Amino acid sequence: MKKSLLRGATIAAAALVIVSLTPAPAAADATVFLGTTTSPTHRGVRGFAVGVSMLVVGFEFEYANTSEDALEAAPSLKTTSGNVFAQTVGLPGFQLYVTTGAGIYRERLGNVQETNAVLNTGGGVKVHLAGPLRARVDYRVFNLRGSPQHSTVQRLYAGLNLSF
């Protein structure tokens, strides 16, 4: 009888600890953006990102498409990546973040094409506009693996971010 009472108390205590350690609810957001890729020349980039955060740390999926400039011999670049980020909390009106991630890319200029792995690092800010709407400004450096025409690419964009 004492063993079953002790066992029940142990299970109840363990359940209480697990419930008290449950993380805060996750927040999600989505961003659509326009910007410029600066390597080797300035070309337009557009894309979207969808993320989820647990207070300070979060995860994001991102897709971006940079246009080709045949006159300047600047290839198009499509990137798809999964990123992890760390962000500030509690600042009035804005949120700073740093991010890093990995994924795949496809670089194409005319008939020449390269597809391989990509690593990225960067950061930015989300600025509260109204309700769940925020402006987002982001800077990234991409390191293209394999044999790309340009192995390091920089990107700057601005977009609208909706938190939900």
Model confidence pLDDT, tens digit, residues 15-30: 555 545 555 567 999 9
Q: What is the pLDDT of residue 15?
A: 58
User: Cis peptide before 40, with omega less than 30 degrees from 0?
Assistant: yes
Across the chain, where does the E strand assignment appear? 27-37, 43-54, 57-66, 76-87, 94-109, 112-130, 133-144, 152-163
- Whether residue 10 is predicted with pLDDT greater than 80 in this model: the reply is no
CATH number of the domain within which 28 lies: 2.40.160.20
Residue 78 · residue 60 · CB < 8 Å: no
Specify if 73 maps to a domain. yes
Range of the domain at 153: 24-163
In a 13 Å sphere around the CA of 100, the CA atoms on its Cβ side amount to 1
Average pLDDT taken over every residue of the chain: 91
Specify if 15 maps to a domain. no
Q: How many Å apart are CA 1 and CA 18, to the nearest integer?
A: 26
Specify if 35 maps to a domain. yes
Q: What is the pLDDT of residue 26?
A: 72
Highest mean pLDDT among 8-17, 35-44, 137-146: 137-146
**Is 0.85 topped by the overall pTM?**
no
Specify if 74 maps to a domain. yes
- Comparing 132 with 1, the larger pLDDT belongs to 132
Per-residue pLDDT tens for 31-80?
999 999 998 899 999 999 999 999 899 999 999 999 999 999 999 999 99
Q: How many domains does the chain have?
A: 1
Q: H or E element: which one contains 11?
A: helix 2-20
Specify if 133 maps to a domain. yes
Nearest to 62 by CA among 37, 89, 29: 29
